Amino acid sequence: MDSDHDIYDMDSEEEVFSDDGTIDEPLDSQSKKNYRILKDKDICQLMKNYISRTSMILSVPRDVSLALVLHYKWNIYRANEEWFANQSKVRKAIGMLSEKETENPLRKRTFSDSNSLLTCGICFEEYSLEKVAFGDCKHPFCKVCWEYYISTSINIGPKCLVLRCPKPSCNIMVGQSVTVILASEKDRLKYYDYLIRSYVEENRRIEWCPAPGCKNAVKIFDILSENYDVICDCSNVFCWNCLDENHRPIDCDTIAKWRIRNLEEAENTNWILAFTKKCPKCKNAIEKNMGCMHMTCRCLYQFCWLCLEEWVTCYGNCNRYVENKEIKEAKKNVRRYTHYYERWMSNEKSKQKALQDLNKMRDEGVKKLSELDYLYEDRLEFIVLAWKQIVECRRVLKWSYAYGFYLPEKEKTKMQFFEFLQGEAEAGLERLHYCAEKELLDHLGSTEKLDYTEQGFCENFKRFRSKLIWLTKVTGDYFDNLVIALENSLKDRYNQQFRMHERPGGFVPVVKAQPAMALRILKEIQLGLLNQMLKKGLVNDQFEHLMISKRAQNPQFVVQTLEDYCAEIEAIVSRMKNDIEIPDVDFSHLVALCDQIIEKSTRIGAVHVKSACLLLVRTCEQRNKKK
């Protein structure tokens, strides 16, 4: 903060009181997001509002107003109430002169004789008037001692905000105006920093951005009980409630438990329980590090490792199996935790790598691609957006493993459903990640395979651009829906699209006949992949491959019904009827694809698919007639 940003000298703005005694600035476009990013100058303006408002209501100087809001932790309501209830008590508490002392003629004395000498109350030297400074109490101290006193107080810490007169027997406050004038430039900056920190840290509606090195604060307008993600101007995204990284779909309590669980000390307990045994006598944990079953504890008790009986009684003749449920359960818990932790950490590393790729693409890649492909940089923004989506999806996927770890194992139906949704999310994200990473490199590096004539290059670029934009959108939509479903604990009302019957071996759809193949086909349509095959002229071969693939015939879990995919087709129809452009769609190819699906769906009895495709064909024909 610059030294000339004195909070008393800033321009005023309209002020609005909030319910907790704080002042809110008028809502702007940022407030529609329920929060606002605050820079130093914004915080200073808000502090100035507090001080000006209090000074105006109570008819006190601004130094006194600042002392009041600091004493009452920036709660104006309480400051006003206490002042009007017992003014003398408040005056004493903040170090303000009492009304009687204010009226005392000795307090009002002035030193008009420039030749008079005054004795400093610290060094006891005599100084002329221009070398002496006073507080409200009028105790004289030389400016050198004042500067040393103020500098020492500021360097000690935030208590400099409520500074008192240097005279030990005097409890009168030293106002900000005196402190700022006599402090050095360096100390003045520290003083303002303490003041800003005091305002932010005492205000329950404001938090610092937790990103290292970021000096922004975030003001929230409505206090929310659930986790609420905030995006700082420094690009850091964090949860408002716990200040940890944004962790949807899990709540703040779960992330706290997961963090503790990940501590080495916490897991040591489970490891000790799983891979050590307690001495039957002293109960100390013992790890077996040799082949012999004869154990000798440090308490000198000798016992059998297998049955824990005294060695002289057992002597290795304990071949009857007795299950130790405690040890078995501990080993199971360790294996289960390891499964989820490894995948959590793997996605965290992938997220960090994707973040590096995003920053590299934003800083260097777009410009390089622009020069190589002779394109404007704004036409390549879709690549940056794709990488942003990858980073966000990796984060959601990472925390979904913590979510799965805390799902009750006894709720097998919910667990199977969760694992299916998670698996689909991983598959969709891998497609997007592969396209943004590998196919981009192929697009740039395969000069022998690509047609780099002007027309050929445009076609190649359009195909790649269309595919990446489409995958970015559908992957983002899927993850948004996944987060909502998980946040609502996979409740039935949020998952009507996943209408299922549970049977031994997993989920099966409500529809009859042989839905797996048609389901797989329509799923590819939903992800926008077959649309890309159309443009590449690969529809027929790839379509047949999908029809005969083992994965299509034997899906482990089938969740979405054919009706749900029909809804996707009907959404396309709706867009077409409303003349909303669908980029890079060849409607003749789309009709040809529908004809193939109609033929196949008729063969397997998927009536809903056939009806939806017929509707799409008719809509395509009507649209072509309009053109």
DSSP letter string over 518-569? HHHHHHHHHTTHHHHHHHHT-HHHHHHHHHH-HHHHS-S---S-HHHHHHHH
Lowest mean pLDDT among 114-128, 282-296, 526-540: 526-540
Backbone angles phi, psi at 286, to 5 degrees: -130, 130
| Opening angle at CA 177, ends 176 and 182, nearest 5 | 100
Average pLDDT rounded to a whole number, residues 32-47: 86
Residue carrying the six token digits 């996943």: 498
pLDDT of residue 439: 76
Residue 616 pLDDT > 80, yes or no? no
**AA letter at 44:** C
**Is 282 a catalytic site residue?**
no
pLDDT digits (tens, 9 = 90+) for 268-324: 655 665 667 888 888 787 877 766 778 888 888 888 877 778 887 776 566 555 556
Lowest mean pLDDT among 232-241, 489-498, 583-592, 613-622: 489-498
Buried b (16+ CB within 10 A) or exposed e, 227-248: bbebebeeebebbbbbeebbbb
pLDDT of residue 3: 41
Copy the structure tokens of residue 248: 């949807």
pLDDT of residue 320: 54
Average pLDDT rounded to a whole number, residues 593-613: 56
Lowest mean pLDDT among 42-46, 66-70, 474-478, 491-495: 491-495
Average pLDDT rounded to a whole number, residues 531-547: 38
pLDDT of residue 128: 86
Copy the structure tokens of residue 73: 């932790």
Query: Following DSSP, what letter does each residue of 560-619 receive, concatenated?
Result: S-HHHHHHHHHHHHHHHHTT---TT--HHHHHHHHHHHHHHHHHHT-HHHHHHHHHHHHH
Residue 553 pLDDT > 50, yes or no? no
Backbone angles phi, psi at 241, to 5 degrees: -75, -40
pLDDT of residue 154: 92
Sequence-distant (≥ 6) Cβ neighbours of residue 305 within 8 angstroms = 277, 288, 293, 294, 295
pLDDT of residue 95: 87
Most confident range, picked from 87-101, 147-161, 259-273, 357-371: 147-161
**AA letter at 426:** E
Sequence-distant (≥ 6) Cβ neighbours of residue 104 within 8 angstroms = none
Integer Cα distance of 177 and 67 in angstroms? 12
Average pLDDT rounded to a whole number, residues 105-129: 72
Average pLDDT rounded to a whole number, residues 501-505: 35
Around Cβ 615, how many Cβ atoms within 10 Å?
A: 16
Average pLDDT rounded to a whole number, residues 401-411: 86
Integer Cα distance of 531 and 406 in angstroms? 39
- pLDDT > 90: what percent of the chain? 8
The 3-state secondary structure of 29-97, one letter per residue: CHHHHCEEEECHHHHHHHHHHHHHHHHHHHCCCHHHHHHHHHHCCCCHHHHHHHHHHCHHHHHHHHCCC
Integer Cα distance of 351 and 392 in angstroms? 8
Integer Cα distance of 616 and 622 in angstroms? 10
Query: 276, exposed or middle or buried, with CB in 10 Å at 0-12, 13-18, 19+?
Result: middle
From the list 236, 193, 195, the residue with the least C-alpha distance to 218 is 236
Around Cβ 315, how many Cβ atoms within 10 Å?
A: 12
Residue 409 pLDDT > 60, yes or no? yes
Residue carrying the six token digits 């965290």: 348
Sequence-distant (≥ 6) Cβ neighbours of residue 523 within 8 angstroms = 560, 565
pLDDT digits (tens, 9 = 90+) for 211-240: 888 889 998 887 665 667 888 888 788 888
Contact 499, 418 (CB under 8 A): no
Average pLDDT rounded to a whole number, residues 241-269: 76
Please give the residue that has the higher pLDDT: either 602 or 580.
602
Q: Which helix (H) or strand (E) holds 117?
A: strand 117-119
Residue 191 pLDDT > 90, yes or no? yes
Integer Cα distance of 467 and 473 in angstroms? 10
Average pLDDT rounded to a whole number, residues 462-466: 78
* Helices 539-548, 515-526: crossing angle, 10 deg rounding: 140
Coil, strand or helix at 429? helix
Choosing from 214, 239, 292, 304, the catalytic residue is 292
Buried b (16+ CB within 10 A) or exposed e, 148-184: bbbbebbeeebebbbbbbbeeebebbbbbebbbebbe
pLDDT of residue 559: 29
Mean pLDDT, all residues of the chain: 71
CA-to-CA separations, 539 to 277, 534, 589, 609, in angstroms, rounded: 62, 5, 9, 18
pLDDT of residue 16: 41
Contact 246, 225 (CB under 8 A): no
Integer Cα distance of 432 and 446 in angstroms? 20
Residue carrying the six token digits 């006891």: 124
Average pLDDT rounded to a whole number, residues 495-505: 37
pLDDT band per the 50, 70, 90 thresholds, residue 199: very high
**AA letter at 238:** F
Contact 73, 204 (CB under 8 A): no
pTM: 0.58
pLDDT of residue 416: 81
Average pLDDT rounded to a whole number, residues 168-173: 89
pLDDT of residue 581: 47
* Domains of the chain by start residue, with CATH: 117-191 (3.30.40.10), 496-627 (no CATH)
Average pLDDT rounded to a whole number, residues 570-583: 51
Coil, strand or helix at 410? coil
Residue 613 pLDDT > 80, yes or no? no
